Amino acid sequence: MTNFTPTAADRFTFGLWTVGNVGRDPFGEPTRQPLSAPYIVRKLAELGASGINLHDNDLVPIDATAAERDKIVSDLKAALAETGLKVPMATTNLFGDPAFKDGAFTSADRRVRAYALQKTMRSMDLGAELGAKTYVFWGGREGTEVDAGGKLMDALAWFRESLNFLAEYSESQGYGYRFALEPKPNEPRADIFLPTVGSALGFIPTLDKPELFGVNPEFAHETMAGLSFPHAIAQALDAGKLFHIDLNDQKMGRFDQDLRFGAENIKGAFFTVMLLEDTGYSGPLHFDAHALRTEDEAGVWAFARGCMRTYLILKDKVAQFHADPEITAALEAYRVEDTELAALSKFSPENAEALKNREFDREALGVRGPGLEALDQMTIELLMGVRG
Ligand code: GLT
Ligand code: MN
Ligand code: MN
């Protein structure tokens, strides 16, 4: 039993835009003051995080001069050196500026696509300077409200062309980036291209260097699509493509809430932690969420502490789950193996023939109860703290 206080060894990270979120929404002005990047780094270090992630413009304003940029970057580097925090992931803001209102890499305007490449290369330079090894692409504006423009097929080709270019750029500079595509079904566009983890996994093999590309699934985004986050990350893990992860929470059928990890769907969070821990995922555990708009700065740090604490508590619950004899017995009873049938299930013409002629007691197969109600109730009771 621990006191659930995180340390750098837990690999928790936060985007500058997460704890730095000022509480603006489409209907209301900011409710909090902006926090400087060095201040965020020092606060997160105190709380036990291991690193920060950033968009170019979380750190450097889009219209900063070269001298301003260098000063901002050196102030951040000083805070990183002082605290030991790292910058494992970087990304580009390709959604905030009006130039990107109809897409960046998928804009129908060649000039916008070229500008998006320029902005991303500069941002990759910044990330590399700060030591980032993962580069995320969240295509927030890569989508449409109307399909009358007729670019559905072109948009995918333009996206591919840009990603191929940027992978070559990374290699030519020796940056060693691995790229992670972050899917989202909608918001801020009505329909965003590559809307789910499955879509991104289908797109990656069409790139020139698919080995450099994986996914950055976000709990809220799969939930917005009505899908299960644990199922999505299981598929990414199975494909060897879970390069990064955005942990948060979300009510289904809502706008992108980016809630504190585990705040809403505790069972989904539990099975997420179980998958990450059991499969030995070794990347950063990034919280892409923010404090509620109601909160002041104290609420921001309560939010950050809460994300990490909940992860550690759930990690402890995962260990309890595996060590629980009744749960282990129920899990064993759930699976039925048969060595003869396992052998027959390896294809050969003879096995196929034998299997076709095999007699099965179909009615008996339909009668067996797998015990999932009891197993799920044990899981719930474990999460509620009344087991063991
Ligand atoms: C934006 C979005 C997130 C993405 C970030 C990376 S920016 O806040 O809502 O899900 O991960 O670009
Ligand atoms: Mn989100
Ligand atoms: Mn995200």
Task: Tell me how many degrees the CA angle 204-288-18 measures, rounded to the nearest 5.
Answer: 135
Query: Are residues 238 and 153 located together in one domain of the fold?
Result: yes
DSSP assignment of 97-150 equals SGGGTT-STT-S-HHHHHHHHHHHHHHHHHHHHTT--EEEEE-TT-EES-STT-
Same domain flag for 303 and 376: no
Cα(69)–Cα(306) distance, integer angstroms: 33
Same domain, 195 and 56: yes
Residue 384 φ/ψ, nearest 5 degrees: -85, 0
Task: Give the residue, by CA position, lying nearest to ligand 1 atom 5.
Answer: 138
CA 354/CA 366 separation, integer angstroms: 22
Same domain, 210 and 359: no
Residue in 59, 135, 182 to alter for ligand 1 test, most ligand atoms within 8 A of Cβ: 182
Q: Which residue has the tokens 């990374």?
A: 170
Residues of the chain with pLDDT under 50: none
Query: Is 55 designated active site?
Result: yes
Q: What is the pLDDT of residue 261?
A: 98
* pLDDT score for 1: 53
| CA–CA gap between residue 73 and residue 55 (Å, rounded) | 13
3-state secondary structure 143-177: EECCCCCCCHHHHHHHHHHHHHHHHHHHHHHCCCC
> Helix, strand, or coil here: 284?
coil
Cis check: omega of the bond before 188, within 30 degrees of 0: yes
User: How far, in Å, is the centroid of ligand 3 from the Cα of 90?
Assistant: 12
- How many domains, in total, are found in the chain? 2
Query: Does one domain contain both 291 and 337?
Result: no
Residue 388 lies in a domain: no
Q: Mind listing the pLDDT tens digit for each residue in 244-300?
A: 999 999 999 999 999 999 999 999 999 999 999 999 999 999 999 999 999 999 999
User: For this structure, is 58 an active site residue?
Assistant: yes
For 382, list phi and psi in degrees, rounded to 5: -65, -45
CATH code of residue 86 = 3.20.20.150
- Name the DSSP class of 260: P
Ligand sitting nearest the alpha carbon of 246:
3
Is there a contact between 149 and 189 (Cβ–Cβ < 8 Å)?
Answer: no
Domain that holds residue 285: 8-320
User: Does residue 259 lie within any of the structural domains?
Assistant: yes
What is residue 2's predicted lDDT score, i.e. its pLDDT?
A: 74
Domain co-membership, 234 together with 361: no
Q: pTM of this prediction?
A: 0.97
Atom of ligand 1 nearest to the CA of 246: 11
Decide which of 271, 297, 320 is a domain's last residue: 320
Pair of tokens at residue 384: 């509620």
Q: Is 255 helix (H, G, I), strand (E, B) or coil?
A: coil
Give the residue from 320, 338, 365 where a domain finishes: 320
63 is in an annotated binding site: no
2 is a domain residue:
no
Residue 332: inside a domain: yes
Contact (CB, 8 A) for 92 and 160: no
d(CA 258, CA 219): 9
Pairwise CA distance, residues 203 & 108, whole Å? 20
Read off φ and ψ for residue 250, nearest 5 degrees. Answer: -170, 140
* Residue that terminates a domain, selected from 279, 300, 320: 320
Nearest alpha carbon to residue 306 among 281, 271, 274, 269: 269
- Same domain, yes or no: 333 and 252: no
CA distance 140 to 189: 7
Do 72 and 175 share a domain, yes or no? yes
Q: Are residues 364 and 269 in the same domain?
A: no
**Does 330 share its domain with 313?**
no
Question: 165 and 95: one domain?
Answer: yes
Gap between the Cα atoms of 104 and 111, Å rounded: 10
Tell me what pLDDT residue 232 has: 98
Residues 373, 245: one domain? no
- Helices and strands, number each (H, E), in the chain: 16, 10
Query: Any residues with Cβ below 6 Å from ligand 1, and which?
Result: 17, 55, 91, 136, 138, 182, 218, 246, 256, 288
pLDDT digits (tens, 9 = 90+) for 148-201: 999 999 999 999 999 999 999 999 999 999 999 999 999 999 999 999 999 999
Q: Read off φ and ψ for residue 25, nearest 5 degrees.
A: -140, 175
Residue 35 belongs to a domain: yes
Nearest alpha-carbon partner for 245 in 181, 192, 152, 168: 181
